[in-house]
Every structure is written in structure tokens, then in C-alpha cells.
Amino acid sequence: MRYLKLTNISNTLEQGKPLVINIDNLDHISAVGAMGPSFYVYFEGTKYSTTASGFINRLSIGVFNANLDDIKIAIKEINDAITAAPGAKVVKVHTTKQINAFVWGA
């Protein structure tokens, strides 16, 4: 198993503990601006569920005091780190902008 460890987490979110994501089944990451600056991490099997009133198997990560360009930079930082460490068990990333929220759609 491979993990992505995001370390620039707000102290108001889980006391600043890193956010660790299993990336074995990561499909893609996309920027979102409509609901505030954030990005979605999609995994294999992500789908919309009317019974769950939202997406299943998707992680939404919020970055406050950011704009869409900041989000694109954060996504690039994550993608570059994963690409640079193809055999690493843990890919550690300290994004330029601080992560302030995350919600798992399950």
C-alpha cells in the first residue's frame, strides 16, 4: 500500500495532524471553485449516489484564503511529489497553502 501524507494542516483541524490518504486506488485530483477554494480527490469507484445525496468514495479538501490558482498549485505540488517518488510507501507533501478542511464522501 502507498500513502500520501499531507502535512500543512491547520491547527484547528485535528490539532494539525497530517492527513494520510491511501493512494493505491487514486484516480485523479481536480480543482473546484464553485463551493469555495478546494479540490476533490477521486478514487476508483467514485460515483454519485442519490441515496447518499452526494459522491461516494471522494475526498473534498478545503483551502481557505486561496483562489483557484492556489488550488491548482497545490494539486501540482501533490502530483509532482507522487510522480517523483514512484516506489515510495509514503509520499510526504507540505503544500504551499494550508489545508483547513476535509470531508470524506462515503
Distance CA 62, CA 3 (A): 19
- Side chain identity at residue 77, one-letter code: E
User: 45-81: per-residue pLDDT in tens?
Assistant: 666 666 555 666 778 888 888 888 888 899 999 999 9
The torsion angles phi and psi of 80, rounded to 5 degrees, stand at -65, -40
Distance CA 82, CA 93 (A): 9
Q: Using a cut of 0.95, tell me whether the model's pTM lies above it.
A: no
Distance CA 56, CA 49 (A): 7
